[in-house]
Chains A and B, each alone.
Chain A
């Protein structure tokens, strides 16, 4: 069991992970100087969607998505839905891990083979996943509050050079472009849908709504801030050329006692990225356990590392990684935004709720 405070930390870390590294570029490529508006609106949309997930999940307060999707849609369609989630999560966990390795390779260990970094990370993932939901909760809670102060690094450069002229004209790209820019922004917000699986594990059910909405709003604020300051400092034209804009941005900081702030930042941020992967991986083991009707999910995690490893090692170059993330993003839109709405609508039409279902099937 986890507390609602831990749920807040889990949802926040699941959302803010790799997305923060390049959200400014991916959004600014579409909605240019209005990228911050797109990011903000996408955050609000995501937070609203968390509400839908909450309404859906509170119809079945002691069941996970993997269980009630089979109740709502029937056995086979329900299982297909669970399978979609499993594929999406494994791929996300794998690519997030791969991006983490790319970062480490670029900044710290250029000559170390990808394999040599992914395998230890996989061992750690299994170790974390085997220990169940309460350990996940505690680890995330601890890391979240440890890493949140790193966000302060996004302030100094923009205070030194407040060129907000690059954000003007506000709204100049037009309504449709801003809406289009929400798409890449939403990819960066993905992760909030883990609530679908974690809902029954939360002790204080009353505070779930508060915790998940505040996680959504916190992420919205952080992302909007990051995008705003980066477009202001760089201009959207320059952002298009930068692979990891956040790192370059942080490297502008000059401190008398610390020379390379961005290296300090990456060193700690690797934990945040690893956690994003860790949560998705853990939730997958839960889903797989339910799909295979196994009570004991401990050993499932060992087998799940095989597809994880294959997907993580598959991309040959950075271009392929970016392309694959795009595809996973589409799958994520279906899994995080589409399916909960469909499930909720069907559940309402069929009038399904936990108590009633239990009554009708002895």
Chain B
């Protein structure tokens, strides 16, 4: 009797327990890989978002579907899109969020990103990228290399970040920079090729002051920025070498250590940055062989001075032209001169900080040629 009762209970449980309020079949979910956010050109104050994801339909013509929609906020726009879709739109697979330049320059607001950050399904390492132009155009552009434009762009950015062409920058980094004083956001800046023809170009950096984009750095400047920020990873740069014009050594450089020393004297702030790098020579257009001890050491010196000089130029741009502190020197002053930092307005002090840079590079290899 007991056994029969038990079996009955088990059978009833099997029937009722699998029922689930939240059952969602895979076929009912519209997966997204990327979102772009632009200003709406017709309705002031509204935003246009473009979503890209797979069509999930075997007989579909193209594997990817790109849809634009608009609304008051990013969530509102997504709900407006939902009205046109037979599947539940899910943010769980978003790899990258693109911000159009017009939005970035006017300032990224809560209506653009809060709805994405608040969603628990969004992955913590989704990346943020700024687009030089309308992000919608980027999402709608076609590439031969990959069927899904968002995944394609995500892996380009990842690859570029691995060579220090752009910073690796996530949404979480962005929000963290906004919530603290003493470090400004930045992001990869993607340049569009002519519409529908050429692939996008990923080797620039957008510099923000608070939530507003204030300027951009080109490929070489980005490398220097990342070097000062101690994020340099296998970065490549061409350095003029020798006494003749048009002679270059292309260097592959990696970071070893970076030390930041801060000193406050009255109201003046002095920051000394000492960077140690290692590198190898990838290319040398000068005819003389270089692989003897003296000339390699001379090349070390040459490259180091060049990188120092570039550092001053980039820092000058960041301080005077952009008044933005993406490297986060404010955090160092806060850490080592806390009372001083609490007293001052970093935004006003930063442009007048006295920087000195010192680079040590050790070129270890020259490839298979002398």
Contacts and interface: CB of A to CB of B under 8 A. Distances in A.
10 smallest beta-carbon distances between A and B, as pairs: A251-B124, A168-B335, A112-B21, A109-B22, A238-B179, A237-B179, A111-B21, A238-B176, A237-B180, A252-B124
A107 B179 contact: no
Given A166-B331, A172-B338, A238 B123 contact: no
Contacts of A110: 22
Nearest to B122: A251
Contacts of A249: 124
Interface string A251-283: 110100001101000000000000000000000
Interface string A139-160: 0000000000000000000000
Given A165-B332, A166-B331, A172-B338, A106 B21 contact: no
B123 A168 contact: no
28 contacts: A107-B120, A107-B121, A108-B22, A109-B20, A111-B22, A112-B21, A113-B21, A165-B328, A165-B331, A165-B335, A166-B331, A168-B334, A169-B335, A169-B338, A235-B176, A237-B180, A238-B179, A241-B179, A247-B120, A249-B124, A250-B124, A251-B123, A251-B125, A252-B124, A252-B125, A252-B170, A254-B125, A260-B92
A234 interface: yes
Nearest to B170: A252
Interface of B: 20-22, 92, 120-121, 123-125, 170, 172, 175-176, 179-180, 328, 331-332, 334-336, 338
Interface in A96-114: 106-113
Contacts of B175: 238, 241
A106 B122 CA distance: 12
Contacts of B123: 251, 259-260
Contacts of A250: 124
Given A107-B121, A109-B21, A241-B179, 13 more contacts: A110-B22, A111-B22, A112-B21, A113-B21, A169-B336, A237-B179, A238-B175, A247-B120, A250-B124, A251-B123, A252-B124, A252-B125, A260-B123
B75 to A, nearest CB: 15
Contact of B21 (A116, A169, A247, A248): A116
Contact of B180 (A235, A247, A260, A262): A235
Interface in A170-229: 172
Given A169-B336, A172-B338, A238 B22 contact: no
B97 to A, nearest CB: 15
Contacts of A234: 176
Interface of A: 106-113, 116, 165-166, 168-169, 172, 234-235, 237-238, 240-241, 247-252, 254, 259-260, 262
A112 B22 contact: yes
B180 A238 contact: yes
Contact of B20 (A107, A112, A165, A166): A112
Contacts of A111: 21-22
B176 A248 contact: no
Contacts of B22: 108-112
Contacts of B121: 107
A247 B332 CA distance: 28
Nearest to B231: A161
A237 B180 CA distance: 6
A348 B260 CA distance: 58
A269 B250 CA distance: 51
A93 B179 CA distance: 35
A158 to B, nearest CB: 14
A153 to B, nearest CB: 12
A328 B281 CA distance: 65
B228 to A, nearest CB: 15
A109 B22 CA distance: 6
B229 to A, nearest CB: 11
A121 to B, nearest CB: 14
A264 to B, nearest CB: 13
B19 to A, nearest CB: 10
Nearest to B339: A172
Contacts of A166: 331
Contacts of A107: 120-121
A235 B177 CA distance: 9
A149 B180 CA distance: 33
B176 A262 contact: no
A285 to B, nearest CB: 24
Contacts of B334: 168
A125 to B, nearest CB: 17
Nearest to A110: B22
B88 to A, nearest CB: 11
B168 to A, nearest CB: 10
Nearest to B24: A111
A168 B334 CA distance: 8
A125 B173 CA distance: 41
Nearest to B328: A165
A248 B124 contact: yes
A113 to B, nearest CB: 7
Contacts of A235: 176, 179-180
A240 to B, nearest CB: 8
A107 B124 CA distance: 14
A241 B120 CA distance: 14
B12 to A, nearest CB: 14
Contacts of B120: 106-107, 247
